[in-house]
Structure 1
Amino acid sequence: MRAFLVLFCSFFLLFSWGQENKGVAVKRIMKLMGTRFEITVIAPNEDIGYINIDEAVSEIERIEKIISSWDTSSETALVNKNAGIKPVRVSQELFGLIERSKRISEITSGAFDISYASMDKIWKFDGTMKGKPSEFEVERSVAKIGYKKIILDSEEQTVYLSQSGMRIGFGAIGKGYAADKAKELLISKQVKGGIINASGDLTTWGTKVTGESWLIGIANPLSKDKVFSWLPVVESSVATSGNYEKYIMLNDEKYSHIIDPRTGYPTIGVNSVSVFAKNAELCDALATAIFIMGKDSGIHMVNQIDGVEVVVVDSDNKIHKSTGIQFDKNQ
Structure 2
Amino acid sequence: MKQALVLLLILYGFSTSAQVLRKRTVKLMGSRFDIILVAPDSLTAESHIDTVIAEVTRIENLISDWKEDSQISQVNKNAGIAPVRVDPKVFALTERALHFSRITRGAFDISFAAMDRIWKFDGSMTEMPDPETVKKSVEKVGYRDILLDRAHSTIFLKRKGMKIGFGALGEGYAADRCRDLMLAKGIKAGIVNGSGDMSTWGKQPDGSDWTVGITNPLRKDTVFAVLPLRQSAVVTSGSYEKFVVFNGRRYSHIINPRTGYPATGVSSVTVFGPSAETANGFSTSLMVLGQEAGLKLIKKHPDYSYILITDNGRIFSAPGLDIKKDNL
What TM-score bracket applies, with the shorter chain setting the length?
A: over 0.9
Shift of 1:245: 1.6
DSSP 3-state at the match of 2:5: coil
Structure 1 counterpart of 2:251, from 249, 255, 271: 255
Name the structure 2 match of 1:51: 47
User: SS at 2:17's partner residue?
Assistant: coil
Counterparts of 1:14 and 1:292, CA distance in 2: 33
Opposite residue 85 of structure 1, the aligned amino acid is I
TM-score with structure 2 length normalisation?
0.94
Identity %: 45
Deviation at 1:324, TM superposition (A): 4.4
Contact 2:213 2:227 in 1 (8 A): yes
2:72 to 56, 76, 81: 76
Larger RCO (alpha carbons 8 Å, 6+ apart)? 1
Deviations 1:189-234 (A, max 9, x none): 1011001111100010000011011112344567666654432212
Partner residue of 1:4? Answer: 4
1:65 CA drift (Å): 0.4
**CA-to-aligned-CA distance 1:65-96 (integer Å, 9 cap, x gap):** 00001111111000000001111111101110
Tell me how large the CA RMSD over aligned residues is: 1.7
Q: Report Cα offsets for 1:78-118 as digits up to 9, x if no partner.
A: 00000011111111011100001000111111111100001
Q: Does 1:13 align with 2:31?
A: no
Q: Which runs of 5+ in 2 are unaligned?
A: none
**Secondary structure in structure 2 of the residue aligned to 1:210:** coil
User: Once the 2 structures are TM-superposed, how far is the Cα of residue 257 of structure 1 from its aligned partner?
Assistant: 0.5
- CA distance in structure 2 between the partners assigned to 1:201 and 1:223 by the alignment: 21
**Aligned counterpart, 2:273:** 277
- What residue is the counterpart of 1:9 in the other structure? none
2:92 pairs with 1:99: no
2:5 corresponds to which letter in structure 1?
Answer: L
Distance 1:106 1:14, change over 3 A: farther
- Deviations 1:232-251, CA, capped at 9 Å, x for gaps: 21251011111232111222
Matched, 1:147 2:147: no
For 1:166 and 1:225, the matched residues in 2 are separated by 39
Q: Determine if the alignment matches structure 1 residue 85 to structure 2 residue 91.
A: no
Q: Distance in 2 between matches of 1:43 and 1:328?
A: 36
- Give the SS at the match of 1:143: coil
Cα displacement string for residues 305-327 of structure 1 (whole angstroms, at most 9, x for unaligned residues) = 13011101111122111234343
Structure 2 CA distance for aligned equivalents of residues 70 and 140 of structure 1 = 23
Q: Secondary structure at the match of 1:285?
A: helix
Between the aligned partners of 2:254 and 2:149, the Cα distance in structure 1 is 31
Could you say if the C-alpha distance between residues 33 and 60 of structure 1 is closer, same or farther in structure 2, counting changes exceeding 3 Å? same
Distance, in Å, in 1 between the alignment partners of 2:311 and 2:225 is: 20
**Uncovered stretches (5+) of structure 1, i.e. residues with no partner:** 7-11
Contact map agreement 2:217 2:240 (CA 8 A) in 1: no
